[in-house]
């Protein structure tokens, strides 16, 4: 593959699993042990804000204790030769910490907080220390209750159009570690042009739901990423 071509990578929870962050829908995944609709929806936050803040404070604290893995670093390394955009459903910042410079977060970022009145008001979106809990009574700059900058079920995905355009312009498209069941994010795989090489790295068999035209590298992210890079080099 020629230098400077555009690689777009779409990642999900699986890429951070080997860093110690649970996925959502695998055996023992987060949504097996917690109620997603109570803890990750705007209605759940209105009903019981403390329970939702406690849940995200625990996830923020956990994120402060983990580190990127080989898969995050290998994707960052690709920037030395190619124009790379990462589109992630993950709310962790492990791609950035590994050195990726262009990361689009479709579902928000645990490292940031925002207003509970106007979630996408840029004046209220701020980095907030991961080890500092967000408490009832803490205020955003507009005076509303502070909340994590997470896109909950029932909320709008601000960066979806931008992400879709990136996929449409990709010369190579890669998917890593996502069950592809949460929409609209998962719909992004349908926007890659027919002729571009497409790879999917995931240890599951993807039986019945491997998207059309993808070569499946059936491996964990940290192992599959090396085969993936060999594939890219040989294009």
Among residue numbers 99 through 128, which ones bind ligand OAD (CB under 6 A)? 107
Give the 3-state secondary structure of residue 172: strand
User: Is residue 182 at the binding interface for ligand OAD, with CB under 6 A as the rule?
Assistant: yes
Q: Which of 93, 96, 171, 202 binds ligand OAD (CB under 6 A)?
A: 202
Number of residues that bind ligand OAD (CB under 6 A): 26
Q: Cβ closer to ligand OAD: 171 or 186? A: 186
Q: Does 147 bind ligand OAD (CB under 6 A)?
A: no
* Region near ligand OAD per CB under 6 A, out of 116-124, 131-139, 165-173, 199-207: 199-207
Cβ-Cβ contacts under 8 Å for 80 (sequence gap 6 or more): none
Residue with smaller CB distance to ligand OAD, 151 or 232: 151
Does 107 qualify as catalytic in the annotation?
Answer: yes
Phi-psi region of 96 (alpha: psi -120 to 50; beta: other; left: phi over 0): alpha
d(CA 189, CA 167): 8
User: Helices 70-77 and 221-233: crossing angle, nearest 10°?
Assistant: 20
Per-residue x/- marks for ligand OAD, 6-45, CB under 6 A? ------xxxx-xx----xxxx--x------x---x-----
Q: How far is the CB of 183 from ligand OAD (least distance, A)?
A: 10
Q: What is the DSSP letter of 211?
A: P
The secondary element (H helix, E strand) that includes residue 176 is: strand 172-176
Q: In 34-146, which residue ranges form alpha helices assigned H by DSSP? A: 36-39, 42-47, 49-64, 70-77, 94-98
Residues that bind ligand OAD (CB under 6 A): 12-15, 17-18, 23-26, 29, 36, 40, 89, 107, 151, 177-179, 181-182, 202-204, 220-221
């Amino acid at each position: 593959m020629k230098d400077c071509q555009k690689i777009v990578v779409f990642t999900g929870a699986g890429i951070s699993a080997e860093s110690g962050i649970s996925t959502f829908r695998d055996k023992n995944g987060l949504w097996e042990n917690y109620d997603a609709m109570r803890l990750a929806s705007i209605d759940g936050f209105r009903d019981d804000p403390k329970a939702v803040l406690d849940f995200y404070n625990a996830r923020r604290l956990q994120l402060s204790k983990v580190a990127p893995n080989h898969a995050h670093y290998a994707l960052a390394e690709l920037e030395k030769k190619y124009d790379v955009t990462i589109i992630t459903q993950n709310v962790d910042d492990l791609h950035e910490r590994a050195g990726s410079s262009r990361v689009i977060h479709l579902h928000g970022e645990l490292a940031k907080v925002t207003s509970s009145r106007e979630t996408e008001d840029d004046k209220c979106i701020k980095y907030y220390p991961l080890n500092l809990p967000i408490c009832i009574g803490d205020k955003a700059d507009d005076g509303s209750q502070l909340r994590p900058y997470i896109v909950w079920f029932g909320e709008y995905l601000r960066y979806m159009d931008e992400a879709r355009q990136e996929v449409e312009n990709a010369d190579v498209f890669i998917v890593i570690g996502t069950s592809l069941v949460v929409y609209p994010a998962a719909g992004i795989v349908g926007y890659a042009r027919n002729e571009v090489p497409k790879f999917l790295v995931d240890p599951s068999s993807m039986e019945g739901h491997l998207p059309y035209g993808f070569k499946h590298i059936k491996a964990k992210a940290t192992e599959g990423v090396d085969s993936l890079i060999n594939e890219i080099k040989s294009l």
